[in-house]
Structure 1
């Protein structure tokens, strides 16, 4: 079972990582007791310490787990380094790294289906708790605009993104999960008002697109106001390449602002 789940979200490590210069993403750690979260953080090119910026938190897939604080930049990090994007979408971007043999959320193998099923029982894994603690600290120190916290993830990371959304729906302004699966009843009940752009490949042999199709229908039925589902014909598990190539992704994402509740 353990080997099956390990392979389920395995994403081939890209040799492009070594060719791409990611030095602009600073290496940092968050330490809480005996637990450590490695992460890379990209500040705006003209960063001002007294200004609160939008935050993009992106959770990687299974294949990028470890403690080298580098592998998590394999997919998606290049998008935020592009000069035009850094100019027009000034933000703090974080790619945390999940340790080996850990996950961003809990999931299990379904007896009836050939894809993984989420497990929403109990507390979140320590890795997810550390991600939330990191975001909280940035908001508390006023480096991040609390109205503009954005969440993304792919494969195992999308599982984690969905789980964070249903646990803390009032924390996020928008989310873009790629080829993941959610606890549909809980997510719809708790987070239907969070703008989402959901992505999947039609021919994904690793994580079936069917649960995301069901999620989209459930959100629409529940009256969600801003949810888009993009399924790419003929595309397998690597639908993140298509998602990152969407010209409207960042404009849509950074246009979202959370309404602050009145006391």
Structure 2
């Protein structure tokens, strides 16, 4: 009984510690016309508004949608709070949140008769309401005096991995590099972001988003793109972001790129 009580106390302290850390991400919003999007933002330690900093936009998956301006930090939020990361890569980190009834990317999402999820990606097309607001938010950040326009990055997982590809093509010539985790896109859209250095990740056993989507993009980009890296985790299912965040070269690779 004593051991159970101790375990519960440790779990509670662990959750409280994480919540306290996430409080370092300040709450923000972008509202203009019909566009509105809420986000959490982490400034570098000893932030000086007179200096210019790299900016990373990170797009969450479908499970973190909502209007609480909190859930989007579930996956990836802790990575940028690590002491060594904050020390070695002083940057502004932005986690926008997609509303519950929307989607970052413009996709057709249905199910096969078997009940398995069926995903197809739109070639071109109009942006979703969430993506339209996100594009507006990125444009707004570009106007801020403390933003280094030569070092803007985007990354995301699952729905956010799909959104990463879409944001790249809707904000061409904006990002210095990008990462996509267990995402996908219509391969006919590749030409719009083929010059952006990309590192694509996927789990070989993913039964939510077919790894073939990432494979197809990587293979096409290798023939026409400037720089593409592809990592397939043989034993990972959909949560390949755990392995991705543990990659020692992930952030050094990302921040090494400049426009």
TM superposition score normalised by structure 1? 0.87
Cα distance in 2 for partners of 1:111, 1:67 equals 26
SS class of match (1:134): helix
Q: Corresponding residue for 1:233? A: 234
Match of 2:146 among 143, 160, 164: 143
Instruction: Tell whether 2:202 aligns with 1:205.
Output: no
Q: Corresponding residue for 2:254? A: 253
Cα 1:18–1:105, aligned 2, differ >3 Å: closer, same or farther? farther
Measured on the aligned residues, the alpha-carbon RMSD in Å equals 1.9
Deviation, 1:85, is 0.7
Query: Do the aligned residues in 1 keep the contact of 2:179 with 2:200 (CA within 8 Å)?
Result: yes
The unaligned stretches of length 5 or more in structure 2 are 1-11
Q: Corresponding residue for 2:221? A: 219
Cα 1:17–1:39, aligned 2, differ >3 Å: closer, same or farther? farther
Cα 1:135–1:17, aligned 2, differ >3 Å: closer, same or farther? farther
Q: Corresponding residue for 1:193? A: 195
Q: How many residues matched?
A: 242
The unaligned stretches of length 5 or more in structure 1 are 1-14, 259-263
Cα 1:18–1:157, aligned 2, differ >3 Å: closer, same or farther? farther
Instruction: Tell whether 2:167 aligns with 1:164.
Output: yes
Q: Corresponding residue for 1:108? A: 108
Query: Do the aligned residues in 1 keep the contact of 2:40 with 2:95 (CA within 8 Å)?
Result: yes
Deviation, 1:221, is 1.5
Deviation, 1:125, is 1.4
TM superposition score normalised by structure 2? 0.88
Query: Do the aligned residues in 1 keep the contact of 2:124 with 2:189 (CA within 8 Å)?
Result: no
Cα 1:132–1:252, aligned 2, differ >3 Å: closer, same or farther? same
Q: Corresponding residue for 1:5? A: none
Deviation, 1:34, is 4.4
Moved more, 159-168 or 89-98: 159-168
Cα distance in 1 for partners of 2:197, 2:118 equals 26
Cα distance in 2 for partners of 1:142, 1:128 equals 24
Cα 1:247–1:208, aligned 2, differ >3 Å: closer, same or farther? same
- Structure ID, larger Rg: 2
